[in-house]
């Protein structure tokens, strides 16, 4: 467990495309700010200038990207993002709310691309010098329902969103498997619930962390 008396709070939000992560990140930021916390809300890929370039490559490139090259690009983005933006914010005592982190690479590039998930995790842990979240919120949603949401919300899919149903099924199963193995780190919420109900569950789980000594 992270020593919250000496540093800020690192919260990651995970889940498949269309699950509602961005909505929950925004609601959580709003609540934290209202509580008087200094908040950094960010995402991967794309949380830095370098990350925006990586995001454009991995999500919108028209050329073929091999699975291992894709995994390495995500790790490179993560190394830059954590070193230059996230870790400094945590050290200043801020609350970092981050849309996607290492678990996404394990799920998408590991299970989705059928690479070795343990190797993917080791790569990102090396890239981030072992920085682990204090809490990971998994917004879980049936992949078919998630696809329906995406169809309504946007006109075109990025490279990962456009993958076939079995890809997204493997991704979801991987997220749930990771959460089962680390219940102390995870809060799993049903993405089909009303957004405000999900937000209330997240606040209830976070309250003990925020009231820890030094917070």
Q: Which residues are annotated as a binding site for ATP?
A: 15-22
Cα–Cα distance, 215 to 208 (Å, whole number): 10
Report which secondary-structure segment, H or E, holds 166.
Answer: helix 165-181
Q: Angle at which helices 117-127 and 67-81 pack, to 10 degrees?
A: 30
DSSP 3-state percent helix, strand, coil across the chain (nearest 5): 55, 15, 35
Beta bridge partners of 13: 99, 137
Collapsing DSSP states into helix, strand and coil, what is residue 122? helix
Q: For residue 175, what are the β-bridge partners?
A: none
Cα gap 107→2, rounded to integer Å: 24
- The binding site comprises 15-22
């Amino acid at each position: 467990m992270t020593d919250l008396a000496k540093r800020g709070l690192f919260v990651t939000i995970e889940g498949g495309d269309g699950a509602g992560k961005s909505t929950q990140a925004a609601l959580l930021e709003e609540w934290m700010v209202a509580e008087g916390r200094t908040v950094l809300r960010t995402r991967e890929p794309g949380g830095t200038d370098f990350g925006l370039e990586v995001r454009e490559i991995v999500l919108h490139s028209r050329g073929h990207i091999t699975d291992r090259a894709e995994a390495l690009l995500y790790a490179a983005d993560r190394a830059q993002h954590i070193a230059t933006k996230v870790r400094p914010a945590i050290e200043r005592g801020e609350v970092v709310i981050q849309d996607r982190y290492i678990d996404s690479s394990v799920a998408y590039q590991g299970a989705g691309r059928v690479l070795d998930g343990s190797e993917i995790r080791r790569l990102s842990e090396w890239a981030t010098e072992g920085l682990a979240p204090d809490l990971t919120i998994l917004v879980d949603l049936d992949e078919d329902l998630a696809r329906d949401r995406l169809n309504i919300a946007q006109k075109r899919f990025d490279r990962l969103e456009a993958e076939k149903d079995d890809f997204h099924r493997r991704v979801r199963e991987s997220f749930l498997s990771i959460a089962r193995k680390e219940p102390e780190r995870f809060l799993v919420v049903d993405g089909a619930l009303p957004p405000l109900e999900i937000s209330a569950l997240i606040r209830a789980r976070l309250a003990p962390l925020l009231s820890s000594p030094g917070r």
